């Protein structure tokens, strides 16, 4: 009889201690601003789709000082960032320069080849639909622009990139968008839907 009472008290003490620890852990999780809810929100904020157009040959004029301008041929790609209600899109343009063209720039500038980048990136570039463009290939046009390369300028009269029709969601959105532009129909719905795919939620 005397043995059972201390044993019961010991078991009760263990149960109370475990309960207090569980309560403390629960309270800490609920008050932690970086808990599961935040992680879920971070997941929701990630873009569903990162879409980049296929590389397309583009020609720039390269001029240094008063020397005669020469052509530089490279490949342009455009990564979408947002769709606008004025029928334009904003994104990042990357112009990739082949080694032969880099050598041409290096000779003109007197810089070592290693100082001439293999690609040049320009953010916040606006592009619009070419008139009458439609699927299976929607063409977007970027107007006059300059890119800095080793202290000199690459000048573009225009850059054209293409969105090729596939079963993927982004090209399908552009097919609908182009069709609605050509038919002069309302397109706010497809623009909003495209933004939900390619942009980060606020």
Is the backbone peptide bond immediately before 136 cis, with ω within 30 degrees of 0?
yes
Which residues in 147-184 are b (16+ Cβ under 10 Å) and which e? bebbebebebeebbbbbebeeeebbebbbbbbebbeee
Chain centre to alpha carbon of residue 28: 36
On whether the CB atoms of residues 80 and 198 are closer than 8 A, the answer is yes
pTM (predicted TM-score)? 0.74
Distance of alpha carbon 95 from alpha carbon 195, whole angstroms: 24
On whether the CB atoms of residues 58 and 154 are closer than 8 A, the answer is no
Q: Based on C-alpha coordinates, what's the Rg of the chain?
A: 29
User: DSSP secondary structure string, 168-188?
Assistant: SHHHHHHHHHHHHHHTT---H
pLDDT for 69: 78
Which residues in 52-88 are b (16+ Cβ under 10 Å) and which e? ebeeeebebebebeeeeeeebebebbbbbbbbeeeee
Residue 166: pLDDT band by 50, 70, 90 thresholds?
very high
Which is more confident, 14 or 119? 119
- pLDDT tens across 91-113, in order? 999 999 999 999 999 988 889 99
Distance of alpha carbon 109 from alpha carbon 151, whole angstroms: 9
Alpha-carbon separation of residue 2 from 5, 10, 12 (angstroms)? 6, 13, 16
Residue 47: pLDDT band by 50, 70, 90 thresholds?
low
């Amino acid at each position: 009889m005397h043995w059972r009472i201390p044993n019961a008290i010991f078991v009760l003490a263990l149960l109370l201690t475990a309960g207090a620890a569980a309560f403390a852990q629960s309270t800490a999780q609920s008050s932690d601003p970086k808990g599961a809810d935040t992680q879920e929100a971070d997941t929701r904020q990630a873009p569903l789709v990162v879409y980049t157009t296929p590389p397309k040959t583009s020609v720039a004029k390269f001029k240094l000082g008063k020397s005669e301008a020469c052509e530089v041929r490279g490949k342009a790609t455009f990564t979408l960032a947002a769709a606008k209600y004025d029928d334009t899109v904003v994104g990042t343009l990357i112009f990739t320069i082949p080694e032969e063209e880099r050598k041409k720039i290096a000779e003109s500038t007197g810089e070592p080849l290693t100082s001439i980048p293999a690609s040049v990136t320009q953010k916040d570039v606006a592009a619009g639909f070419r008139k009458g463009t439609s699927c299976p290939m929607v063409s977007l046009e970027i107007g006059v622009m300059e890119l800095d390369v080793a202290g000199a300028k690459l000048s573009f009269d225009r850059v054209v990139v293409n969105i090729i029709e596939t079963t993927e969601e982004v090209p399908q959105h552009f097919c609908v968008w182009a069709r609605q532009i050509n038919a002069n129909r309302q397109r706010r719905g497809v623009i909003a839907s495209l933004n939900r795919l390619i942009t980060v939620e606020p």
